[in-house]
Structure 1
């Protein structure tokens, strides 16, 4: 399971996509400005609140971003290890551990955004925030990435399962990796060709009609939250 959009009526689903992007930016700024355990504890409560507001659970988000867990867990050990005495520096490990935890809570907030925002609204938000041709290019790129990556992951998993069903476990690890990678690349190129053909057949709109923008009381509250997060990053409070 990966983090993906889930239709719903949660508070986050009712927010304007632009406001949710601002909250993400403010949260990331605050997380990188306040790196003490006390500051990260406050931000953890806020991150869990964002997940709850999107109608999800922390377990769901953590499982969706499980690919990042090995790096985040190993980083403090690598940072603390030394080649000579004392062999392990606890202060370095703690500092890197806090940085890894900071990345984890930022991913929680990002997952809440993905879960509560349709691809079409993400594209519209980017195009409204970034004017001109650059905004349209970014909007198209983001919409294609959101739609293409889950399919690519699914096809890689399908290739791996097919290899295992044919007694591929008997092969060496490098050989299994090569077979799955080649199969994944072939399917990705085939899907890209079909995507290009489909876009041409449907006369891809360079500047389509965007969904209507919405801004209500809930959006105003979320905007105040984003502004508060940015101010907290500029004015140390921990």
Structure 2
């Protein structure tokens, strides 16, 4: 583009003489105009970002840390698994010795069948998570719960999540309710606008879980690329 512009400008100042030679007609420009015109041919230099997108979008790690658990249950054990979780998990949630909260627990209807999903919130970030893990290792009831749970599961996985800085905490409402899990793929630019992220169409779940819970919770967690 810059080359074509230069050719066009110089060509306008050429005149052909009788001998067939070309002479250049030079126009005098002010120093300001010449400097502005020359600079317009090149892309402006943009200062590099000093912070990663994850630091700009997420709240501080010492605020709230979330853990999402996915348990694939044996079909014949799903009812017993739900009863076991209902007996143990609320007691951990209600115990003030554990700086964690059970935000929600669900069974899936579509997608992965016979799957249970649990969402935990740790007040205080990673130190709170470490404290809870150490205390649960010494909790006899939880140890027995894990043994019984292991007999009912086919597989399990979990993931640690941080809140976006521009959304509020997830607040459950009286249920039972039906929730929808969606995946989104974000393409961040230097002028990232949180409001426009809701307009991005769903993408595939290829690089981890990019999802949020709708209808009752305003909590959204995305794996940013």
Task: Bin the TM-score by the shorter chain.
Answer: under 0.3
Q: Which has the higher contact order (CA 8 A, sep 6+)?
A: 1
Greater share of strand: 2
With normalisation by structure 1, the TM-score equals 0.19
Larger radius of gyration: 2
